[in-house]
Amino acid sequence: MAELVDNIKTLSPKLITIHLAYAESAQSQHYLSLQVVDGTTLYEALAKAGWLTQFADLGLWCEQVAAVKIPTAKLWHVGIYAQKQPLSYQLQALDRIEVYRSLSADPMSQRKSKSKN
């Protein structure tokens, strides 16, 4: 009987919990917790969450950079805990996928203009 239980455990994929976060704008944030199979990639998790269709710009961007292995600083829109990662990154339990939006202005310039006023 114990052997049968061991066989079932090895046949069942291990599930891990991950989290997704996206501040679409200052007024609109999206958060989601998801169970995925261990070994799921960042891209697969975004697809499973439905975010590639819900956020068309994100889906288009993912198609354009799918083959990139090393993220480029200014052009990269996803990461794990503020560390930019390729879409092929294999997720680990409790990872938080963060989707970054493009800034409308340089933060340093904004601070300087606020301090002048």
Q: Mean pLDDT over all residues of the chain?
A: 85
Q: What is the pLDDT of residues 22-64, one digit of tens each?
A: 988 888 999 999 999 999 999 999 999 999 999 999 999 999 8
Q: CA 18 → CA 10, 23, 110, 113, 117, distances in Å?
A: 22, 17, 34, 39, 43
Domains for the chain: give ranges and CATH numbers: 14-116 (3.10.20.30)
pLDDT band at 13 (very low <50, low <70, confident <90, very high): confident
More confident residue, 23 or 2: 23
Q: Collapsing DSSP states into helix, strand and coil, what is residue 43?
A: helix
* Whole-model pTM over 0.75: yes
